[in-house]
A and B are shown apart, each in its own frame.
Chain A
Amino acid sequence: MWEALITPLTYAFMQRGLVASLIVGIVCAVIGCYVVLRGMAFMGDALAHAILPGIAIAYLLQGNLTIGALVAAVAVALLIGVFSRQGTIREDTAIGILFAAALSLGVALISSIRTYAVDLSHILFGDVLGVSTSDLWLAGVLGILVLAAVALLYKPFLVISFDPVLAATLRWPAELLRNLLLLLLALTIVVSLQTVGVGLVAAMLVTPAATAYLLTRRLPVMMGIAAVIGAFSSLVGLYLSYYANIASGAAVVLTATACFLLAFLFAPRRGVISKRLHHLLQK
């Protein structure tokens, strides 16, 4: 048993992959609490797909892929804000339009680069075993930046999420704070690109946070539990992928989903079974 856990870690690429997965699991889960509470799941998914053309253009210009991804994510986040702020179309419609457009542009650009075809699946589903030391540094620094911002701006983010009217009476810049939260979300998604890929990052944002929501009634605790579940899913998922020889991103997401289902059924207060029991006992 012990040996089974140690063996994979004798490879340097597995060590790097594990650390990267843990960073992504924790950062996604923490920022994911706001994604879940503010109903931004669709936004998160859209931002992830919007990264695709950024990467393709960066590749064509032979620039840094991560920076390309970051620029694209920020641009789309702000564009969604511009489109929906006019009030002429709803935000989810604006997201739907930009999300499909960005994805199409990305696929069009990438399909024009023949030699790049193999790497497309890595972008879509992640390539945790291909994490380089410099990737790891970048993920670490950006991850700490996001976590520090969430901790420092706890009060303003809580207020704009729970009670925007209070933010207005306090004269706090709600618009700026909303955009800042979007920027942090974009950073998180870029960090996650390497491990879970464009297609699955939304699950890492939503699933651990939704699981934690079922288990607590306070936001700081929710963030803590979500981080633990995110880290646990990354760890278990990575071992699963090593021994069962399945794609790592998928293994991580499936582990997180299993955690969610357990909480959905057995959570002490909000789970389906405990609610039934409570109902029966009251009769």
Chain B
Amino acid sequence: MTHIENRLSLANVAAGYNGQRVLHDVSFQVPHGGQVAVVGPNGAGKSTLFKVLVGLLPLRSGEILIHGQPLGEHKDCVAYVPQRSEVDWRFPVTVKDVVMMGRYNRQGWLGRSTRHDHEAVYHALDQMGITDLAFRSIGDLSGGQQQRVFLARALAQEPHILLMDEPFTGVDVSTQEATLALLDKLKAQQVTIMVSTHDLNMAAQRFEWVLLLNHRPIAYGPAPEALSQENIRQAFGGRVLIVGDVAVVDECCPPQEG
């Protein structure tokens, strides 16, 4: 029997901006095809963790291994779905243009789109149910449609690891369902997924693994164990109220944009 490396492995990772240390002592492993919800209060370092994983922020210390090799060795295996507030929606690109960017890793700087690229783009659009929007400007779409565009781009990228920053915030229920359905489909394809969310219910019900984060990992494990009352209290501090078996978190959602 051959030994299979964990797909994603972090050891003692620390990171931050300009002297401010946002994350420290982060160590955990995600097996092939694992789906992890990253939960924690605002400012706990969820987005920072993702920025480190895509290579946007340098590591202060520690080590990140993907397929047993350091970050950056595998150039195209991480896809990232940004928060909607991070995207400039007035940029003059169509839905198809954005999804085609998911193929740039295969094309390189100078390569042209092949027929295979176009097929992959239309397949991704079809999977997200937005084929009819292909030539629409991204600025003309609704919030849910905008999210589907970036999910389609991630699909076209055919990644091994998919990171999604707050995909359930500020979108309609049908987009939430489409996102969850996509997660199920990707699970069958053994794609490893990390999703940040402040929705404890979503994390508990729809994810097998939960990483509870507040600048450092509070708990990491199967959802029911990681989301124990004690752990939630530790992560959210005074902003949690526990009534019987129910934990209520007094946590305002990230600002929604129009």
From B18, B76, B88, B139, contact of A170 by CB (8 A): B76
Q: Is B31 an interface residue (CB 8 A)?
A: no
Q: Is B78 an interface residue (CB 8 A)?
A: yes
Question: Closest 8 A-B residue pairs measured CB to CB?
Answer: A217-B137, A168-B56, A169-B54, A168-B55, A162-B91, A171-B75, A217-B92, A219-B92
A contacts, CB < 8 Å to B: 37, 87, 152-153, 155-156, 158-159, 161-166, 168-172, 213, 216-219, 221-222
A218 lies within 8 A of B110 (CB): no
B80 lies within 8 A of A166 (CB): yes
Query: Once the chains are docked, how many angstroms separate the CA of A155 from the CA of B105?
Result: 11
Q: Which residues of B contact A87 (CB under 8 A)?
A: 18
B88 lies within 8 A of A162 (CB): yes
10 contacts between A and B (CB under 8 A): A162-B91, A164-B56, A165-B56, A165-B82, A168-B54, A169-B54, A171-B72, A216-B92, A217-B137, A217-B139
Q: Which residues of B contact A164 (CB under 8 A)?
A: 56
Q: Which residues of A contact B92 (CB under 8 A)?
A: 37, 213, 216-219, 221-222
B contacts, CB < 8 Å to A: 18, 51, 54-56, 72, 75-76, 78-80, 82, 86-88, 91-94, 97, 101, 104-105, 107, 109-110, 137, 139
B113 to chain A, nearest CB (A): 10
Q: Which residues of B contact A217 (CB under 8 A)?
A: 92-94, 137, 139
Q: Which residues of A contact B105 (CB under 8 A)?
A: 170
B107 lies within 8 A of A155 (CB): yes
B55 lies within 8 A of A171 (CB): yes
Q: Which residues of A contact B107 (CB under 8 A)?
A: 155
Query: Once the chains are docked, how many angstroms separate the CA of A221 from the CA of B80?
Result: 28
A263 to chain B, nearest CB (A): 14
A165 lies within 8 A of B93 (CB): no
B109 lies within 8 A of A155 (CB): yes
Query: Once the chains are docked, how many angstroms separate the CA of A162 from the CA of B110?
Result: 18
Q: Which residues of B contact A156 (CB under 8 A)?
A: 109
From B76, B94, B104, contact of A218 by CB (8 A): B94
A165 lies within 8 A of B110 (CB): no
Q: Which residues of B contact A216 (CB under 8 A)?
A: 92
Assuming the A-B contacts A169-B54, A217-B137, are A163 and B110 also in contact, with contact meaning beta carbons closer than 8 angstroms in the complex? no
Query: Once the chains are docked, how many angstroms separate the CA of A170 from the CA of B87?
Result: 17
A37 to chain B, nearest CB (A): 6
Query: Once the chains are docked, how many angstroms separate the CA of A87 from the CA of B57?
Result: 14
Q: Which residues of B contact A222 (CB under 8 A)?
A: 92
From B76, B79, B109, contact of A153 by CB (8 A): B109
Query: Once the chains are docked, how many angstroms separate the CA of A222 from the CA of B86?
Result: 23
B102 to chain A, nearest CB (A): 9
B18 to chain A, nearest CB (A): 5
A93 to chain B, nearest CB (A): 16
A169 lies within 8 A of B79 (CB): yes
B78 lies within 8 A of A169 (CB): yes
Given contact pairs A37-B91, A170-B104, A217-B94, enumerate 18 new A-B contacts (beta carbons under 8 Å).
A153-B109, A155-B104, A155-B110, A159-B101, A159-B104, A162-B91, A162-B93, A163-B101, A165-B80, A170-B76, A170-B105, A171-B72, A217-B92, A217-B137, A218-B92, A219-B91, A219-B93, A219-B97
A163 lies within 8 A of B18 (CB): no
Q: Which residues of B contact A162 (CB under 8 A)?
A: 88, 91, 93, 101
Assuming the A-B contacts A37-B92, A218-B93, A218-B94, are A163 and B87 also in contact, with contact meaning beta carbons closer than 8 angstroms in the complex? yes
A173 to chain B, nearest CB (A): 10
B135 to chain A, nearest CB (A): 9
Query: Once the chains are docked, how many angstroms separate the CA of A37 from the CA of B92?
Result: 9
A210 to chain B, nearest CB (A): 12
